[in-house]
Amino acid sequence: MSKKEEARELFLKGYNCAQAVAGAYAKEMGMDFDTVVQMVSSFGGGMGRMREVCGAVSGMFFVAGALYGYKDPKDFTAKKEHYERIQYLAAKYKEKTGSIICRELLGLEGKDTKAEPSKRTDEYYKKRPCPEMIGLAAEIMEEYILSMEKRGEEA
């Protein structure tokens, strides 16, 4: 199963967008699935349903940090390289969707920011592009990892 399919499947089981993307990469990050989904649980709904940065994007960034992030705060070269990586991933996502902001992707500008999560009904899934967005973020991350491996830069 591709990471795109795995992430989409996790979302359809009820995990939020960030959990679905990051959870699909738990093994690659060398982390326990439950730990990963707990760590990114705050990022669903565009950061706690505030409709800010898309949870799928946040999940993708979490994976990128776990696999390729820097550790030394004084290593400005590593920091720059990682920020370039994050900007690249964001640009790839935005190229396909037009935005990395949840409310813009969902057409919810100024609406639906209450803390209560939406019930996952058939109607919910019919009107939300989230499964496609999650699949896209997981796919972009998978392609990035493969490109890094081809360059000999394993995670």
| pLDDT value at 112 more than 90 | no
Say yes or no to pLDDT of 111 above 70: no
* Beta carbons of 129 and 123 less than 8 angstroms apart: no
Question: For residues 66 and 29, is the Cβ–Cβ distance under 8 A?
Answer: yes
The pLDDT tens digits for 72-99 are 999 999 999 999 999 999 999 999 999 9
CA distance 82 to 19: 22
Threshold 0.75, pTM exceeds: yes
Q: Which residues, other chains included, contact 94 with Cβ-Cβ below 8 Å and sequence gap of 6+?
A: 100
2: which 2 tokens?
């591709």
In the chain, how long is the greatest CA-to-CA distance?
50
- Main-chain phi, psi angles of 53, to 5 degrees: -65, 130
Domain residue extents for the chain = 3-150
Average pLDDT, integer, range 101-108: 90
| CA separation, residue 96 to residues 17, 25, 90, 124 (Å) | 17, 22, 10, 22
CA–CA–CA angle 19, 24, 33 (5° rounding): 70
- Coil, helix or strand at residue 28: coil
